Amino acid sequence: MTLATAPLTTDRPVARRRRVGDALPQIVLAPSFAAVIVFVYGFILFSIYLSATSSRLLPVYDFIGFSNYVRLFQLPNWTLALKNLAIFGSLYIAICCAVGLLLAILIDQKIRIEGLLRPIFLYPMAISFIVTGTAWKWMLDPGIGIAQTMHALGWESFSFTWIKDSEMAIYTIVIAAVWQSSGFIMAMFLAGLRGIDGEMIKAAQIDGASAFQTYRRIVIPQLKPVFLSAFVVLAHLAIKSYDLVVAMTNGGPGRATEMPSTFMYSYTFTRSQMGIGASSAVIMLMMISAVIVPYIYSEIAGEGRP
Amino acid sequence: MGSLDIVHLKKSYGSLSVLDDISLSIEKGGFLVLVGPSGCGKSTLLNTIAGLEPITSGEIRIAGQDVSGLKPADRDIAMVFQSYALYPTMTVAQNIAFGLEMRKVPKAEREAAVKRVADILQIGHLLDRKPSQLSGGQRQRVAMGRALTRNPQVFLFDEPLSNLDAKLRVDMRTEIKRLHERLKTTVVYVTHDQIEAMTLATKIAVLKGGVLQQFGTPAEIYDNPANLFVAEFMGSPSMNLVKGKVDGDGRAVTVARASDPLRLPVRANRILAGYAGREIIVGIRPEAITDPRTDNGGDPSVVVSDFRIDVVEPTGADVYAISELGGRQAIGRCSADYPVRAGEVSRLAVHTSKIVYFDPESEERIA
Amino acid sequence: MTEMTLTSDGRPRRASGSIATRAVLYVLLLLFAAYYLLPLFVMVVNSLKPLAEIQQGNMLALPREWTAAPWVSAWDQAQIGIQATGLAPYLWNSIKMVVPAVAIATMLGALNGYVLTKWRFPGHRIVFGLMLFSCFIPFQIVLIPMARVLGLLGLAGTTPGLILVHVVYGLGFTTLFFRNYYEAFPNELIRAAQMDGAGFWQIFTRILLPSSGPIIVVTVIWQFTNVWNDFLFGASFASPASQPITVALNNLVNSSTGVREYNVHFAGAILAALPTLIVYVVAGRYFVRGLMAGAVKG
């Protein structure tokens, strides 16, 4: 095993004699990279191709251009899925950020039981969406859940039937999703708050700012990168959210809580409309790319050049 | 131990040249110091000698053998890093023995080698500790110990003292010097500290912008700097570099002052005939502007004159007397008991035999 | 909040004497804590009640009659799909899937991170960028081709097939974790080891791995949680013989036949959540580090 020396701090090409063993690092990396190229990028290309075919139950290797996309956007189920995603995504992101920031600020006030509270706020993130969905499905169930509890406690007129109501069911998914993710967003904001230079806050105090003003004018504006990270994380989770919907409402009542992910699954695997399913997956990929690609680009290009 | 020769070494990244045609050599047992400001290429040069960075062209010879194509481990060198680079999960003894272990040296021999360097460096009591349990000075010793175990042809030191506090730095400097004298090893040592360079080196190479400015013994570099950069970089306080005008016959230089001009004779072997009547840069070390002593009465190369002193900086051992010379602030160095006072006029002696002269355009030394 | 002042280290803190503000603060925090704990409480309490008690009564009340029957049923009697096997076989399926998937993805991630930081080559940024993006793709885009490839490989509906899927789509994150960790590992140590004669593998096993404890824990927890909690791949690629517990739980809860045994559902949900919850309780610190590393700029 002979190895040339690698230029450790630069990524400039190594202009020197090459030996056979010099390629060892690349050889080690190659299986992983090949797997990613085939299973991610190859598959993406394959799905893009399928979206331009008339495949139904099984792939058909013809070419029908964009007709699947045209049909897709004429399907009421798909427009409903997009509308639901818009409602779910915006509420999920907004509420998670609001709750996360509020909790982070509250917990950053020299709270004695911080060590106890933080894990309580965060544990839902360790749980499967299927479990979360199960718990909230029955808790919000008008027959046995909170409504029933209220009745048992004597509040007979209490009624909460959102999960059975096709207009409101999507909001119950927001409730469960916020429960699951907001503690994580709290942790992100808390890390951001603790990274802020204390001297600046002292300076604001000397300038006569109240605590509220200090947060609004000095602290929160400095959390912009955290807001950005939180947005990217939550937006991508929202677009991908599938398990929670399946567990809570399975897309229902009717198709009222259809999301792009459930749409793709049912059109591809139960309705045998593979071409349509593939085109919906491509749209999902495009939505996620719009959020993630700039983020990754800044991450990789922005990090310290030598 | 072996010699080291660097022949027409070039290194560039695309069109950007980082080391430009460098040739140096150090004899067996010599102590070569590479010195220069940060970014001058001294560490890059050391890394190319180590084989940690590739070169674009040229040759590096260790003990007469071209090693430029070899990997670091095959060059028979050892290196002490700026951060010490001790392996955090290994004990001191394991750190020191690791290089031998990689070379498949039997265990008994490794243990003997560890014991030998532990004795040399007096770190026997630290052998079972982890690097995180050591002080800065102790880590430094262990890093040297790791280099010493293998008896390589050449030792490389990359700013080894820069992470130590001032007092420890001076102690370790002395220790490195003593170690070198005892072990007679060939050393290449990188530093930005010109005092380290002067005290340790048998040869100094001054670099700037990837270009070798001057290569010579400490005395040569100090007394006859090749150009303005070397003159200013080496020595503390820096050499006074003031404008002067060469007399008609090149046998004297006149430096303007607010009061009377100062006329300084030129040493016989440095006559500036070619520069007669032109303006040049005159370089005078602070210690060449000093209190007049009785024993240099009558020496024609010593010019005694009245200086108007602007600022006085006592350092304890000496007093720096600052006064205007050729439009710039010049520093003289007097003994501590010499009565100089700010705002007053003092008599100071200028030792003209130690003066050097530079061309103001090319910045090279003329004489 | 307006009465709060900020202490010397920049942490806001109560103004002396404003006990009321302080009380409001604590009440708010405890209310939130109750909100987060509520579903867990409901699941535990109701998994220990007879079904009739849930149907008639109060979800928040403690059991009047304590019973372990729902747990026994969830473990090995409940009807899942067409068979009354309980969740136990599916728990084993999950374990058989998760252990190799975590081990392989972590090992490969460590090697990739090592190469991408300490043995850089032209194009390493692009390679990493492509691997990183693969973490975020909506997996719907690979479902169809993956189903076909698993079929071609003869792995359709098998645990090894699921392991392959989880390793491939976990690689991006495991590589990211190790890359960011090794990026901060001093290059001088690698150089020193090179001078000492260590080669590619020796540097990895002797110098880097012994210092990688924390990041290995972070990566293992991350990958474990993700694979254990996965539903989409399990639902798409598993057969009844290889279904993970998440899929089985969903089948149990959403089966449309028979009486809804809520208490069994809750017991099953806790069973499915228990392994990741235990990991969270034991090593929560590392779990949070993983989450943050996956989200915040490394």
CA distance C10 to A222: 14
Domain residue limits at A206:
76-302
Please report, in angstroms and rounded to a whole number, the separation of the first and last CA atoms in chain A: 29
pLDDT in tens, A65-113: 888 899 889 999 999 999 999 999 999 999 999 999 999 998 888 888 8
Task: Determine contact: C32 vs chain A, CB below 8 A.
Answer: yes
* Burial of A156 from C-beta contacts in 10 A (0-12 / 13-18 / 19+): exposed
Question: How many contacts does A have with C, using Cβ atoms within 8 A?
Answer: 343
Residue B72 with chain C: CB contacts under 8 Å: 191, 194-195
Where in chain C are all domains bearing CATH 1.10.3720.10? 88-295
Neighbours of chain B (3+ CB pairs under 8 A): A, C
Task: Determine contact: C27 vs chain A, CB below 8 A.
Answer: no
According to the model, what pLDDT value does residue C30 have?
A: 92
According to the model, what pLDDT value does residue A252 have?
A: 76
Instruction: Name the token pair of B173.
Output: 């400097």
Minimal CA separation from A118 to chain C, in Å: 9
**Under CATH, what is the fold of the domain B4-229?**
Rossmann fold (3.40.50)
CA distance A246 to A184: 22
Query: Strands B240-246, B279-284: parallel, antiparallel or unpaired by DSSP?
Result: antiparallel
Residue B346: beta bridge partners?
A: B307
Minimal CA separation from C176 to chain A, in Å: 11
Instruction: Write the secondary structure of chain B as one string of H (helix), E (strand) and C (coil).
Output: CCCEEEEEEEEEECCEEEEEEEEEEECCCCEEEEECCCCCCHHHHHHHHHCCCCCCEEEEEECCEECCCCCHHHCCEEEECCCCCCCCCCCHHHHHHHHHHHCCCCHHHHHHHHHHHHHHHCCHHHCCCCHHHCCHHHHHHHHHHHHHCCCCCEEEEECCCCCCCHHHHHHHHHHHHHHHHHHCCEEEEEECCHHHHHHHCCEEEEEECCEEEEEECHHHHHHCCCEHHHHHHCCCCCCEEEEEEECCCCCEEEECCCCCCEEEECCHHHCCHHHCCCEEEEEECHHHEECCCHHHCCCCCEEEEEEEEEEEEECCCEEEEEEEECCEEEEEEEECCCCCCCCCEEEEEEEHHHCEEECCCCCEECC
CATH number of C88-295: 1.10.3720.10
Please indicate whether, in this complex, the C-beta atoms of B102 and C210 are within 8 angstroms of each other.
Answer: no
- Let me know if residue A46 belongs to a domain: no
Q: Residues 6 or more apart from B176 whose CB is under 8 A from it?
A: B144, B157, B160, B200
Nearest chain A residue to B53, by CA: A7
Number of domains in chain A: 1
For B209, list phi and psi in degrees, rounded to 5.
55, 35
User: Strand order in B302-314's β-sheet?
Assistant: B289-290, B345-351, B302-314, B318-325, B328-335
Share of chain A above pLDDT 90, in %: 31
ipTM associated with this complex? 0.84
**Closest of A35, A29, A5 to residue A18, by C-alpha:** A5
In chain B, what are the domain boundaries?
4-229, 240-358
Instruction: Name the token pair of B328.
Output: 């710039």
Residue A161 sits in a domain whose CATH number is 1.10.3720.10
**Closest of A297, A248, A286 to residue A82, by C-alpha:** A286
- Let me know if residue A13 belongs to a domain: no
- Let me know if residue A80 belongs to a domain: yes
In single-letter form, the type of residue at position A268 comes to T
Share of chain A above pLDDT 70, in %: 91
Residue A14 with chain B: CB contacts under 8 Å: 54
pLDDT tens, residue order, chain B (367 aa): 789 999 999 999 888 899 999 999 999 999 999 999 988 999 999 999 998 888 999 999 999 899 988 888 888 888 999 888 899 889 999 999 998 888 889 999 999 999 999 998 889 999 999 999 999 889 999 999 988 888 888 999 999 898 888 888 898 899 899 989 988 889 999 999 989 999 999 999 999 999 999 999 999 999 999 999 999 999 889 999 999 999 888 888 999 988 889 999 888 888 888 888 899 999 999 999 998 876 666 778 888 889 999 999 999 889 999 999 988 899 999 998 888 888 899 999 999 888 999 999 999 998 7
Instruction: Name the token pair of C6.
Output: 């900020």
In single-letter form, the type of residue at position A86 comes to A
Please indicate whether, in this complex, the C-beta atoms of A10 and B56 are within 8 angstroms of each other.
Answer: no
pLDDT in tens, A276-295: 999 999 999 999 999 888 88
How distant is the alpha carbon of residue C71 from its chain centre? 23
C-alpha torsion angle, residues C220, C89, C240, C165 (rounded to 10): 10
- Let me know if residue A263 belongs to a domain: yes
Please indicate whether, in this complex, the C-beta atoms of A2 and B69 are within 8 angstroms of each other.
Answer: no
Nearest to B77 among C189, C195, C198 (CB): C195
- Let me know if residue A37 belongs to a domain: no
CB A77 within 8 A of CB A255: yes
CA distance B5 to B1: 13
What 3-state DSSP class applies to C49?
A: coil
CA distance C202 to C104: 20
Nearest to A50 among C119, C129, C144 (CB): C144
The HSE-up count of residue A79 (CA atoms within 13 Å, CB side) is 6
CA distance C282 to C270: 17
Nearest chain B residue to A13, by CA: B13
